[in-house]
Amino acid sequence: MKQAFLGIDCGTQSTKAVLRDPRSGAVLAAGRAPHRIIEGEDGTREQDPAWWIEALRIAVRDATRDGSIEVVGVGVSGQQHGLVCLDSSGRPVRAAKLWNDTTTARECDELTRKLGGTARALALTGNVFLPGYTAPKIAWLRAHEPAAYARTARMCLPHDFLNLWLTGEFATEPGDASGTAYFDVRTRRYRDEVLAAIDDRRDWVATLPRLVPSLDVIGTLRPEAADALGLAAGIAVSAGGGDNMCAAIGCDVVVEGPVAVSLGTSGTAFAYRAEPAVDPLGEAAAFCDSTGGWLPLACTLNCTSATEWARDLFGLSHGEVDAAIADGGGADEPAFLPYLSGERTPNLPRGAGVFVGLRANHGRASIVRAVVEGVTFGLAYALEALRRTGVTPTEVTLVGGGASSDAWAQLCADLFDLPVVRPAIDEAAASGAARQAQWVVEGARPSLAPAASRRFEPRPRPELHAAAGRMAALRELAEANRL
């Protein structure tokens, strides 16, 4: 029977499962199951953790349906920053608040004030308090739902929750933990000062998962989980990581040099560093990676979530959107600030989408193109934040669902003014989780699957310079009015 490593990615929209060949690195089979999301006009974005378990069961059984592959190791990737609250019996107390939940802006301000300002927060953890992070979510829960907070015995991240269900072990690793804003990325430990600012009476040692090295086996597949998934009990489960950390492993951003941009529900730009890399302005996150290094990362909240909104608005196919992007338009095209869910880079949690320059002669192609360009300009801004951490991009590796579009990949090259390489990677985060599991079990970094990459060179586009000016003005307007 052929052997493979199972990689699981619990994202915002779905859970994916892939089986990765340990010798070739190729994905042998894949499964997927969608998630619902609870949304509110106040910025609420939540999911019931029970949905993740059911999606995990469906996705894994789908990937292993032919029964011809033996799973010899499991790795889990999860959406970062989400707050999972468990009672004393290990049951979820309430729905998990997600990374793109923006209800916690007031708690960010209050925690920053309690700790003595932004500079002090950066000194303690390497990060500032942003609404997406976990620390302000805990403060929000304590302030807004005291009964649920009191019932909460343990708190963890989404990938930690899945690992707990798989193995019975309550643990986390530095990569995902560094996105909580109560974890010091330099020393790789929880910061007592930040936890005390949230609640100086709670027993945080009992509340939070123990920290383990990323390249470690945290446990083995327990019988009940194995039965639900149709797998053998006792399979090794690695520490896993956040989705961005596992995507970095999946596209080989595990040494200094490459810079990756992911076009997913959110947009991210990240690069490996062998030492802590902190943005003095705090816009780029100072994260650890999930191999033992660091992963400075800048995130925009609105990426394919915005482009799909525009596509659905006009009932366009993906091919029609690509045609609109490739057309390029002219110098008098509209511009769009894509802050439909607020924004994280720059930090505008109450942000809103804004069109400028709309005229009667602008049709749906112009509007859709403006949305895609606005999202891409946001990623260019994120790359500038990444440069402040010491990263020097010379080439961008493009991953994520949106990367399948040739027209969008070319737009990225044009706007970033950098060559863009699109490797043939199936599900970078899930594949990265499987690759980490193999790394842990075999004790050496596995090779990537040999695959041809598509390369896009930047082209001179004068009309984009005009658009860049409009976007900068829009961003300044948003900052001045705290849109």
* Active-site residue set: 243
Tokens standing for 217? 């086996």
- CA dist 37 and 158 (Å) reads 14
Cβ distance 244 to 268 under 8 Å?
yes
The region, left, alpha or beta by phi > 0 then psi within -120 to 50, assigned to residue 141 is: alpha
CA atoms within 13 A on the CB side of 287: 33
Phi and psi at residue 143, in whole multiples of 5°?
A: -80, -40
- CA dist 434 and 438 (Å) reads 6
Q: b/e for 443-474, b at 16 or more Cβ within 10 A?
A: eebbebbeeeeeebeeeebeebebbbebbeeb
Tokens standing for 185? 């990325």
Q: Convert 158-196 into a string of H (helix), E (strand) and C (coil).
A: HHHHHHHHHHCCCEECHHHHCCCCCEECCCCEECHHHHH
Tokens standing for 307? 């482009």
Q: Cα 34 to chain center, whole Å?
A: 17
CA atoms within 13 A on the CB side of 251: 32
Residue 41: DSSP 8-state: T
- Please name the residues in contact with 250: beta carbons below 8 A apart, sequence gap of 6 or more: 399, 425, 427, 428, 429, 430, 431, 432, 433, 435
Q: Is the dihedral of CA 58, 308, 132, 421 positive or negative?
A: positive
